[in-house]
Chain A
Amino acid sequence: MPTKYLRRDDVALHYLHTGPTTLPDQPPGLGRGVPLLFLHCEGGNAALWSRQMAHFAALHSPIALDLPAHGRSCGLDGPESIDHAADRVCSFLEGIAAPPAVLVGHGFGGHVALAVATTRPGCVRAVVTIGTAAQATIPDDAIAKLRQVVQGRLGQQFDTPYFGSAPDMAVMREWWGEMVKTDPKVRLSDLLAYRASTVATRLGTVTQPVLVLVGEADKLCPRDAAEALASGLSNARVVTIPDGGHIVHLEKAAEVNAAIERFLAEAAA
């Protein structure tokens, strides 16, 4: 899959795209169908969207971004807040001269997408959230454990709550392999930003259509949390993916892709 760097605010942002490659510093063509911008979860990176990138490449112009300090993007520190991350996303969209895009975000990335929709509605055509809550409930002990990892007191923790009811070993391996590529201190910043997010108070201003996707077996963002998010939005619907866990876009990629495709068709209509 082609990869590129875009230099913004003195940080080189890494992203994946599809279609023909272009010269350095030339953004790729975004003319096929709808531009789709995929935003990873806390501590994640663009490669976690490989199934969506492959699927949507034929009809649309998908892009998956590594937020600063994640994956292959530059920077040592995670975002100070959700809005800070959202500013980076807006800056990126400007940098690649994207027309209004559909933002697809997972967990924390979904919150960033909603924040962009509230602050820069002109950049956003529609939003898809996956396993995102209106107000994230991240237990103190999860934060404390991650802090211990950052302090070097614990090794990186292999947490199983991410997975659905029948986890696939290959998917677990892929997930783990990608998650360890980002410094745990960046993941901690993401989680703290997600937990402190005030985007929920601004959801009423989002007028774009929003698809709220949630895995039926999501232990980190249960279905009622997703429904609470949808209820705060004026134009949202919830789609539940049977047997899916928190990383439903990896575990149940075909179902997730089909749901997004239906949403795109309806949103375009």
Chain B
Amino acid sequence: MSLKNEIAVVGAYEHPRRWAPDKTAYQIAAESARGALEDAGLTIKDVDGYATSGVGPIGVLSMCHHLNLKPDWIDSTAIGGSSFVAQVAYAGAAIRAGLCRTVLITYGSTAASERFAIGTGGGFSQDPPDTFDIPYGPTIVGAYGMVAQRHMHEYGTTSAQLAEIAVTMRRHAGLNPNAKYRDPITVEDVLASRVISSPLHLLDCCMISDGGGALVVTSAERARDLKKRPALVLGAGVANRHNGIGQRDILDIAARQSGARAFERAGVKHADVDLCMIYDSFTITVLATLENLGFCKLGEGGAFVQNGRIGLGGELPVNLDGGGLSSNHPGMRGIFLVIEAVQQLRGESGERQVEDARIALCHGTGGWLGIKHSGATLILGAG
């Protein structure tokens, strides 16, 4: 049983706010749910499956209550910021298995107005393996910095090459009226910004914002009767890496496995992909993801992102919304990857529209690259 051409994303909505101290995370999620359902031409009464993440162990139940939902299928996958990308596939599997017909996926966060230190925070939880890492004081930005340092050591990648990614995301954000940071920046600006965790500068790091979004997933058959052109799921894959520091090569990331599965299931080639939405928690995340997804060889990412290749109008436009580096990052960015991809495939992205976008790849990274992380890849096609 495959998902290919059987499952569709029929509603997508990104909450426009980046700073919402007057709202709760639940309000943002609920407003986004309304937006995505309107986008699909459906109502909350049509929803019989519900998924969310980042709401604590049984927060999904509180969200059901908040949305007045009694769904037949409930999911709160918690693999970090990539969860929402994986949930599109999981929702598709549930629909194919007959567990439900229409799944609503929501996300809401007030990370900025609650002053939640995402990237500089210390360890999580009481996970047994963490007892070997956390005493040494790793931070998220420190972990990603370590990956960047390793990449530079192994392949001679430079800070200017990483900076090119931040500059490109900012250029795209300038075309997105809702993006938080829209003023253009240069490679020099990135290099002159202060170092947060060597070799990553401030402008190599995503922001912390408020925000949220929602998606509606249903069968391709049902999608035909709905308001807008659907985005069809072509293939998906989910993987993890680095369970326990020092056990693996930190440049071999989950995208290698999840990407390979997604391409295989979708039956498409890299050259077929018109645009990528890649979780850009840090510039190095984009570079490592492009390499591990196979868009270039390991070690060639630095050169690959140069000369406008990943910008609008380039060979492989990446993060047309401006990404977490310049548009929004409320803590778990995965859902925005899918929202922008759907809008691009429908041709709704205005000034930042990729011409004749037919196939979009979304890749979410969750957790800490270099320590333990997940990867979720989703390949969507214009319906």
User: Which residue of B is nearest A155, CB measured?
Assistant: B194
Whether the pair A76, B194 counts as a contact (CB closer than 8 A) is: no
Mark contacts of B1-43 with chain A using CB atoms, 8 A cut-off: 1 yes-contact digit, 0 otherwise.
Answer: 0000000000000000111111000000000000000000000
> Which single member of B20, B22, B194, B201 contacts A154 (CB below 8 Å)?
B194
Size of the chain A interface, CB-CB below 8 angstroms:
15
Interface majority SS (helix, strand, loop, mixed), chain B: loop
Q: Distance (Å) between the CB of B174 and the closest chain A CB?
A: 15
Q: Distance (Å) between the CB of A65 and the closest chain B CB?
A: 14
Whether the pair A72, B21 counts as a contact (CB closer than 8 A) is: yes
> Which single member of A12, A152, A181 contacts B22 (CB below 8 Å)?
A12
> Which single member of B17, B19, B115, B193 contacts A152 (CB below 8 Å)?
B193
Interface size range of chain B in the complex: 10 to 19
Within 8 A of B (CB), among A130-180: 151-155
> Which single member of B22, B194, B202 contacts A72 (CB below 8 Å)?
B22
Mark contacts of B171-192 with chain A using CB atoms, 8 A cut-off: 1 yes-contact digit, 0 otherwise.
Answer: 0000000001000000001001
Whether the pair B192, A14 counts as a contact (CB closer than 8 A) is: no
In the assembled complex, A75 has its CB within 8 A of some CB on chain B: yes
In the assembled complex, A197 has its CB within 8 A of some CB on chain B: no
User: Which residue of B is nearest A69, CB measured?
Assistant: B19
Q: Distance (Å) between the CB of A160 and the closest chain B CB?
A: 21
CB-defined contacts of B201 to chain A, threshold 8 Å: 152
Whether the pair A151, B192 counts as a contact (CB closer than 8 A) is: yes
CB-defined contacts of B202 to chain A, threshold 8 Å: 152
In the assembled complex, B139 has its CB within 8 A of some CB on chain A: no
Q: Distance (Å) between the CB of B354 and the closest chain A CB?
A: 27
User: Which residue of B is nearest A4, CB measured?
Assistant: B22
In the assembled complex, B203 has its CB within 8 A of some CB on chain A: yes
Mark contacts of B183-216 with chain A using CB atoms, 8 A cut-off: 1 yes-contact digit, 0 otherwise.
Answer: 0000001001110000001110000000000000
CB-defined contacts of B180 to chain A, threshold 8 Å: 76
Whether the pair B189, A151 counts as a contact (CB closer than 8 A) is: yes
In the assembled complex, B77 has its CB within 8 A of some CB on chain A: no
Q: Distance (Å) between the CB of A249 and the closest chain B CB?
A: 24
Q: Distance (Å) between the CB of B211 and the closest chain A CB?
A: 12
Q: A72-B113, A76-B180 are in contact. Are A153 and B194 (CB under 8 A)?
A: yes
> Which single member of B17, B21, B115, B203 contacts A73 (CB below 8 Å)?
B21
User: Which residue of A is nearest B202, CB measured?
Assistant: A152
Q: Distance (Å) between the CB of B46 and the closest chain A CB?
A: 30
Within 8 A of B (CB), among A175-190: 181
Q: Distance (Å) between the CB of B146 and the closest chain A CB?
A: 21
Within 8 A of A (CB), among B315-368: none
CB-defined contacts of A14 to chain B, threshold 8 Å: 21-22
Whether the pair A74, B21 counts as a contact (CB closer than 8 A) is: yes
In the assembled complex, A92 has its CB within 8 A of some CB on chain B: no
Within 8 A of B (CB), among A45-93: 69, 72-76
Mark contacts of A1-25 with chain B using CB atoms, 8 A cut-off: 1 yes-contact digit, 0 otherwise.
Answer: 0000100000010100000000000
Most A CB within 10 A of own CB, among B18, B22, B193, B194: B22
Whether the pair A75, B194 counts as a contact (CB closer than 8 A) is: no
Q: CA A153 – CA B202 in complex, angstroms?
A: 8
User: Which residue of B is nearest A5, CB measured?
Assistant: B22
CB-defined contacts of B203 to chain A, threshold 8 Å: 152
Q: CA A72 – CA B18 in complex, angstroms?
A: 13
CB-defined contacts of A73 to chain B, threshold 8 Å: 21
Partner-A contacts on B (CB < 8 A): 17-22, 113, 115, 180, 189, 192-194, 201-203
Partner-B contacts on A (CB < 8 A): 5, 12, 14, 69, 72-76, 151-155, 181
A-B contact pairs, 6 of them (CB 8 A): A5-B22, A74-B17, A76-B180, A152-B202, A152-B203, A153-B194
Instruction: List 14 other contacts, CB 8 Å, given A74-B17, A151-B189, A151-B193.
Output: A12-B21, A72-B22, A74-B19, A74-B21, A74-B22, A76-B18, A76-B19, A76-B180, A151-B192, A152-B194, A152-B201, A152-B203, A153-B193, A181-B115
8 closest A-B pairs (Cβ-Cβ)? A152-B193, A152-B202, A12-B22, A72-B21, A5-B22, A153-B192, A152-B203, A76-B19
